[in-house]
Structure formats: structure tokens, C-alpha cells
């Protein structure tokens, strides 16, 4: 049906009319512009909510039947219809392709009306797409979080396996990317394990605020039908029901929390990627990536490129972008629902997809990396990584730390001039720096001692690391 205004615009070529059907036709006399219809549609991406949308509709139907709003017969028809739609959607991905629905909610409702006729037109009683979409997204995200925590744990498992199979390996620890102090390779693995433990906890914590039922808030004011929200929550596995209908339909904090938690996972994966990339260069020579996760060069035959880790590092940026776009989208929105919020889904979906694939690829890289332990050990024993040990030795003999620092600094300069390491000085040379130095200094300057003395909780001493590793393993299993 065209009104005069649309006809005028159409005649002047300023709009192109669409013949699409929608859920809110009654109020309108004019047709929508085709460009706008496409612009407005979310079905291209929110079809991912299909299964949870049907599940939530099944629960809504039950609650309407219990409240006496639907007859038993109507509820039965709706339930069977929804089940048929769900089965078909799962079995046949092409089911969605030719459809021009505005969004997943209108898609399911149209299919239901096609299938069972009038009772299908009653399903939307007492509900709005505003509480419906919030419910769907929470259901979807709950599953997504459950999936990701498993993958975070799998990546942690890969780190522990790697550490446990290289208990003797050492490498130089760096600060400012300058050789600093020797560390156990397992200690390095456990550093990443810790980051992922926090990520795991953040996801689990975020899930608590995801798992609250908005359905029953309707458009914004709450529903006038006597549905039992608690029982809907139980049926859908929510922990509780939302306490304020206005907030329930306009809250997307849970999306921001999820994408922020995802951003930190990407920060950690990206740092891991950077370490692995550096350590796999000829310059470092500590790691060799498996052929399974590297690529060659189309031109330079000798190349083995760490594309897997570079993509993980690169993809971090997309998730940070989603985090920013969600915050910017929500900021300044008046209460309650606004269509701006439709932009939430792609940010959430793509963050999930990205984190999921990056965790998987990183775990594969870790499971297949080869260590060049000789090279790692050589690097950990060259470049004065034991200078701090010498300073601590002088402190143990009574010298104030500041003076010890100064003395060792001079020793390093001298060693550099002669192209030797500190342990290669003769005892006389060392004593010319300080009379406090005795023969026992050479033991202190060994790699073994440098590691063994870091025996406080959290340090890199082999026994301490072995205990930390065992603890990490039991946390992961527990």
C-alpha cells in the first residue's frame, strides 16, 4: 500500500519501494525504501541466534500456556511447530538463505505462521523483540563462554605439557628485550599459564552476569500477562530473573564484559605469539615451529615464516576494535532499547570466533614446537646474566647493595673489554675489584646456582617451578 508521500518520492526516484513483509505493518501505510530495508536487516548475522531464539520461544509458549493465555491445544501446535522449525534449521543450512526476514525473530515467527497458521500469531503475546533479543543473546553467549573456557584450558594444557617435557631447559629472561637473568623454560610457560588462569576466571565471572533472564520485561515496562518468570528462568537454565525491565532491555554490559575479557585473552595470546616469533628467528634460534603451522615464501626458498603466530598477533586488533565500538555504541544511548544496539551482535560474534580460532591455533603451535635447548642454554650463560648474582654475593659478604652494584658494573665493563664472562676472570682479577671476593664466588656464578637461589614462592628455582607445575596441573584438572 502506498501513501501519497511515498508515491511522490517514488515518482521522483528518491526511494525504491520494497515489497518485504514485516512484523509491524499495521501502523504503516507507506512502503519501505529497499535500501533502508537492507540497511535495517540483521538476519544476515543474527541467524546465529536461531537455535536459542527457538528455545526461548518454546519456554515463552509454555509460560503463556501455564498463565492461561494460550489454550493447551494452541500451545501444543506452537511447540510442535517450533520443534519442526528447529529441526529443519539444524538439518538444512540453506533454510535461511533465500529468506528476506528483517531478523531472526521475524524469521522464526513467519515460519511458524506458515506452518501452523493462527496459533502462531499468538506466540508474541506479552513479549517484545526487545526482551527477546536480550534473552537470545544471553543464551548464546552463555554457550559461547562455556566453549571458550574449555579452549583456554586446552591452551593451558598445551603449555603444561610443553613445560613438563622440557624440565631441564633454560633460557635467558629479558627485560627491555636485553638479556637479564636466566630462567627455566618451564617458568616461562607458567607465566603464560597464569595469564590464561586469569582469563579463565574472568570468563567464568562474566558468565554470572550473562546468565540472568530478561524475558518478561517486554518492550521496557514489563509484561501485563501473569507469566511465571522464575519458571521460564529455570526452564532456560538462567540463575535468576532481571530486576528492572527498563535496564533488562537496554543493558549490554554483559557484551562489553565478554569482549573485554576476550580482549585480554588476545593481549596474552599476542604476547605469546611475539615471544614465539622472536624465539624462532635465526637471531635467537631457541624454537623451531612445526611445518604444520608455518608457511614458506613464494620467492625465497629458505624461508619458514611463523604466519600462525603473526595472525594471532594481528587479529588481536579486531577484538580491541569490537571492545571500543561497543563502548562507543552504548555511550549516550537514552533508555531504553534503541536500534543502535543491533550493532552489539557482530562485535560479540566476531570476538568469539576470533578468540576461539586464535586459542586453537596457539595450542597447536605449542604442541608442535621444537626447542633448541643447547642454543637456549648458551644464550642463558652469555651476556652477564649472572651479574646480579655477583652483586648479591658481595652483599652476603657485608657490602651495601648500592656499592655492590657499582663494583659489579665495573667488573662487567672490564669483562666486556676483554671479551670474557664474569666467571672467566681469575680469582686475582676478581679480588682486585673487591677483597671480599673468595674462591666460593665461582659456584655462585654458575647457571645452576643462579637458578637454585630463586627459591621463594613464584621464583625460577627448579624445585619451586616443579611445585608450581604440579599445582598448575592439579588446578587444571580440578
Do 457 and 464 touch, CB atoms closer than 8 A?
yes
C-alpha cell at 184: 627455566
Instruction: Using the minimum distance from each CB to ligand ARG, give the nearer residue, 201 or 340.
Output: 340
Residue 469 within binding range of ligand ARG, rule CB under 6 A: no
Residue 342 within binding range of ligand ARG, rule CB under 6 A: yes
Cell 524475558 identifies what position? 215
Cα(152)–Cα(149) distance, rounded to whole angstroms?
5
Backbone angles phi, psi at 376, to 5 degrees: -65, -45
Do 146 and 349 touch, CB atoms closer than 8 A?
no
CB of 122 to ligand ARG, least distance (A): 19
Q: Can 20 be counted among the known catalytic residues?
A: no
Residue 103 within binding range of ligand ARG, rule CB under 6 A: yes
Q: Give DSSP secondary structure letters for 106-141.
A: HHHHHHHHHHH-GGGGGTTTT--HHHHHHHHHHHHH
Instruction: Using the minimum distance from each CB to ligand ARG, give the nearer residue, 139 or 437.
Output: 139
Do 290 and 365 touch, CB atoms closer than 8 A?
yes
Residue 337 within binding range of ligand ARG, rule CB under 6 A: yes
Q: Of the ranges 6-14, 126-134, 168-176, 403-411, which one interacts with ligand ARG (CB under 6 A)? A: 126-134
Q: Can 124 be counted among the known catalytic residues?
A: no
Instruction: Using the minimum distance from each CB to ligand ARG, give the nearer residue, 67 or 333.
Output: 333
Q: Of the ranges 3-11, 125-133, 180-188, 284-292, which one interacts with ligand ARG (CB under 6 A)? A: 125-133
Q: Of the ranges 127-135, 208-216, 308-316, 460-468, which one interacts with ligand ARG (CB under 6 A)? A: 127-135
Residue 270 within binding range of ligand ARG, rule CB under 6 A: no
Residue 107 within binding range of ligand ARG, rule CB under 6 A: no
H or E element that contains 238: none
Catalytic residue among 71, 297, 396, 432: 297
C-alpha cell at 157: 594444557
CA distances to 13, 157, 363 from 152, rounded to whole Å, are 54, 9, 9
H or E element that contains 450: helix 447-452
Binding mask 130-149 for ligand ARG (x = CB under 6 A): x--x----------------
Cell 655462585 identifies what position? 444
Q: Of the ranges 189-197, 339-347, 390-398, 407-415, which one interacts with ligand ARG (CB under 6 A)? A: 339-347
Instruction: Using the minimum distance from each CB to ligand ARG, give the nearer residue, 39 or 302.
Output: 39
Q: Residue 239, SS3?
A: coil
Cα(293)–Cα(169) distance, rounded to whole angstroms?
23
CB of 340 to ligand ARG, least distance (A): 9
Known catalytic residues are 176, 297
Where along the sequence are the contacts to ligand ARG (CB under 6 A)?
42, 46, 103, 129-130, 133, 337, 339, 341-342
Amino acid at each position: 500500500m502506498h501513501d501519497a508521500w511515498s508515491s511522490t518520492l517514488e515518482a521522483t526516484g528518491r526511494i525504491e519501494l520494497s515489497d518485504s513483509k514485516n512484523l509491524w505493518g499495521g501502523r504503516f501505510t507507506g512502503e519501505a525504501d529497499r535500501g533502508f530495508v537492507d540497511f535495517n536487516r540483521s538476519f544476515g548475522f543474527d541467524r546465529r541466534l536461531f537455535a536459542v531464539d527457538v528455545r526461548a520461544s518454546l519456554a515463552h509458549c509454555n509460560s503463556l500456556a501455564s498463565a492461561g493465555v494460550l489454550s493447551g491445544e494452541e500451545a501444543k501446535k506452537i511447540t510442535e511447530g517450533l520443534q519442526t522449525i528447529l529441526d529443519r534449521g539444524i538439518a538444512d543450512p540453506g533454510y535461511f538463505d533465500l529468506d528476506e526476514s528483517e531478523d531472526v525473530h521475524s524469521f522464526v515467527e513467519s515460519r511458524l505462521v506458515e506452518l501452523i497458521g493462527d496459533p502462531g500469531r499468538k506466540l508474541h503475546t506479552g513479549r517484545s523483540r526487545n526482551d527477546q533479543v536480550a534473552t537470545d543473546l544471553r543464551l548464546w553467549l552463555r554457550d559461547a563462554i562455556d566453549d571458550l573456557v574449555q579452549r583456554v584450558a586446552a591452551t593451558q594444557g598445551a603449555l603444561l605439557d610443553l613445560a613438563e617435557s622440557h624440565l631441564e631447559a633454560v633460557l635467558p629472561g629479558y627485560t627491555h628485550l636485553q638479556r637479564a637473568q636466566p630462567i627455566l623454560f618451564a617458568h616461562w610457560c607458567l607465566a603464560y599459564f597464569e595469564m590464561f588462569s586469569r582469563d579463565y576466571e574472568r570468563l567464568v565471572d562474566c558468565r554470572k552476569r550473562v546468565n540472568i533472564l530478561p524475558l518478561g520485561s517486554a518492550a521496557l515496562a514489563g509484561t501485563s500477562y501473569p507469566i511465571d518468570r522464575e519458571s521460564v528462568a529455570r526452564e532456560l537454565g538462567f540463575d535468576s530473573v532481571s530486576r528492572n525491565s527498563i535496564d533488562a532491555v537496554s543493558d549490554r554490559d554483559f557484551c562489553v564484559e565478554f569482549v573485554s575479557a576476550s580482549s585480554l585473552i588476545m593481549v596474552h595470546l599476542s604476547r605469546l605469539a611475539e615471544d614465539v616469533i622472536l624465539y624462532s628467528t635465526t637471531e635467537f634460534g631457541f624454537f623451531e615451529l612445526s611445518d604444520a603451522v608455518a608457511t614458506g615464501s613464494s620467492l625465497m626458498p629458505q624461508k619458514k615464516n611463523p604466519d600462525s603466530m603473526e595472525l594471532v598477533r594481528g587479529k588481536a586488533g579486531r577484538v580491541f576494535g569490537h571492545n571500543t565500538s561497543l563502548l562507543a555504541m552504548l555511550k549516550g544511548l537514552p533508555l531504553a532499547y534503541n536500534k543502535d544496539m543491533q550493532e552489539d551482535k557482530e562485535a560479540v560474534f566476531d570476538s568469539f570466533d576470533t578468540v576461539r580460532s586464535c586459542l586453537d591455533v596457539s595450542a597447536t603451535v605449542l604442541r608442535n614446537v621444537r626447542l633448541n635447548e643447547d642454543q637456549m642454554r648458551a644464550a642463558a650463560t652469555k651476556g652477564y646474566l649472572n651479574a646480579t648474582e655477583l652483586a648479591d654475593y658481595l652483599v652476603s659478604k657485608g657490602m651495601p647493595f648500592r656499592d655492590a652494584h657499582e663494583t659489579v658494573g665495573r667488573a662487567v665493563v672490564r669483562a666486556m673489554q676483554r671479551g670474557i664472562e664474569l666467571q672467566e676472570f681469575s680469582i686475582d682479577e676478581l679480588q682486585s675489584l673487591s677483597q671480599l671476593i673468595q674462591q666460593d664466588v665461582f659456584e655462585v656464578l654458575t647457571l645452576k646456582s643462579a637458578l637454585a637461589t630463586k627459591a621463594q614462592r613464584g621464583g625460577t628455582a627448579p624445585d619451586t617451578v616443579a611445585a608450581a607445575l604440579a599445582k598448575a596441573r592439579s588446578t587444571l584438572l580440578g
